[in-house]
Amino acid sequence: MELPEAGPSGDQQSLAAAERPSEAAALRALVERVRAGEVDAAREVRRLTRASARHRRKLAPAIEPLVAMLRSSGAAGEAALLALLNLAVRDERNKIKILDAGALEPLLGYLQPSDLNLQEYATAALLTLSASSTNKPIISASGAIPLLVKVLKEGNPQAKNDAVMALYNLSTLADNLQTILSVQPIPSLIELLKGGKRSSKTADKCCALLESLLAFDQGRVALTSEEGGVLTIVEVLEEGSLQGREHAVGALLTMCESDRSKYRDAILNEGAIPGLLELTAHGTPKSRVKAHVLLDLLRNSPYSRSKLQPDTLENIVSNIASQIDGEDRGGKAKKMLAEMVKVSMEQSLRHLQRRASFA
């Protein structure tokens, strides 16, 4: 018969009970050291909260003195900034407390490019703080958006990645989209997409933000005026993550629905058809629907949405191919469909190989 697992002895329980108030006293003493302006104390807060949700809760009283320290220059300001960043991670209450304590003004000051490391840390902090629905309108009203777009244009690589994610967070408030557009972010978004991995989280957020901005004529004009703008979105459509591809097809669809006669050729000429066809078979449910609708719009004479069925794909491709000058029409359509079949077979083979590796 199996014996039950032994629990902690009486001595062990007594020791643990003694340690708990001892730890609490140590944390209170640490907060008092932060109040006294000790830079090493701020660094200790950062260390303790790096990976511990419990310490983030226990050290929340340090937020107010850390915000006071944040206004200092040099090492004290940097130590406070990094400690506050760790306190905010995955803790909604701390995110709100940090803004309530007045952190926003000094954080915006750190977004200036005088020190690129501090700019990077401040951008990361704003990214974390802007994940809170309570904080979004406060950050938006503070003038942070133009500064974040400036970081997107001029910051170091990590700051640019965090800036686009912070801008995406703020873009979920519809009133912010025009503000974002007014400071011309699209060239920088395209540049970031061109220089990074198409399947990265940064690419996902870039395409999500572009999809929202392309609902406005100003955004569409900016994208088509940018060299390789539409092509870059098509490349995400082909090579991106599932989420990135969903946003990429959404961006192209938004353009085509806004003015089909104006944007249809721009999309066709960048070779979007194979990626769209592949997406109808292997995309997310939303991607599949959007890809079908966009393929229909790219026809010479599109059906209404309600008439679009999966078995019309071959006819759609033939019709699209007939509008492209150069090669014979039938050959063009066959090439497009053959490429879709090839991609589908390659994906199926990879899927089987993955399954075999786990067998």
Read off the CATH number of the domain in which 223 is found.
Answer: 1.25.10.10
Question: b or e along 257-291 (b: 16 or more beta carbons within 10 Å of the residue's beta carbon)?
Answer: eeeeeebbebbbebebbbbbbbbbebbeeebbbbb
Mean pLDDT of 283-304: 86
Please check whether residue 261 lies inside any domain of the structure: yes
Do 319 and 300 touch, CB atoms closer than 8 A?
yes
Do 63 and 94 touch, CB atoms closer than 8 A?
yes
Q: Is residue 223 exposed (0-12), middle (13-18) or buried (19+ Cβ within 10 Å)?
A: buried
Question: What one-character DSSP code corresponds to residue 50?
Answer: S
Q: What DSSP letter does each residue of 34-47 carry, written as one string? A: HHTT-HHHHHHHHH
Please check whether residue 79 lies inside any domain of the structure: no
Please check whether residue 222 lies inside any domain of the structure: yes
Is the per-residue pLDDT at 226 higher than 90? yes
pLDDT of residue 319: 57
Is the per-residue pLDDT at 337 higher than 80? no
Mean pLDDT of 237-245: 97
Give the pair of three-digit tokens for residue 268: 């066709």
Question: What one-character DSSP code corresponds to residue 115?
Answer: S
Mean pLDDT of 338-342: 52
Percentage above 90 pLDDT, the chain: 75
Please check whether residue 205 lies inside any domain of the structure: yes
Packing angle, helices 260-269 and 242-258, rounded to 10:
140
How many CA atoms does the CB half-sphere of 235 hold within 13 Å?
A: 15
Nearest residue to 245 (alpha-carbon basis) of 131, 347, 127, 122: 347
Residue 287: which domain range? 184-301
The pTM of this model reads: 0.81
Give the pair of three-digit tokens for residue 342: 């090839």
Please check whether residue 197 lies inside any domain of the structure: yes
Give the pair of three-digit tokens for residue 334: 């066959």
pLDDT band at 310 (very low <50, low <70, confident <90, very high): very low
CA 278 to chain centre: 24
Q: Strands (DSSP E) along the chain, which ranges?
A: none
Is the per-residue pLDDT at 300 higher than 90? no
pLDDT of residue 299: 84
Do 138 and 102 touch, CB atoms closer than 8 A?
no
Give me the number of domains the chain comprises.
1
Tokens 């050290």 sit at which residue?
59
Residues 50-102 have pLDDT tens digits of 999 999 999 999 999 999 999 998 999 999 999 999 999 999 999 999 999 99
Please check whether residue 147 lies inside any domain of the structure: no
pLDDT band at 321 (very low <50, low <70, confident <90, very high): low
Q: Which of 19-33, 110-124, 236-250 has the lowest mean pLDDT?
A: 19-33
Residues 67-81 have pLDDT tens digits of 999 999 899 999 999
User: 174 vs 356, which has greater pLDDT?
Assistant: 174
Please check whether residue 207 lies inside any domain of the structure: yes
Please check whether residue 293 lies inside any domain of the structure: yes
Is the per-residue pLDDT at 339 higher than 60? no
Q: Which of 47-51, 129-133, 291-295, 314-318 has the lowest mean pLDDT?
A: 314-318
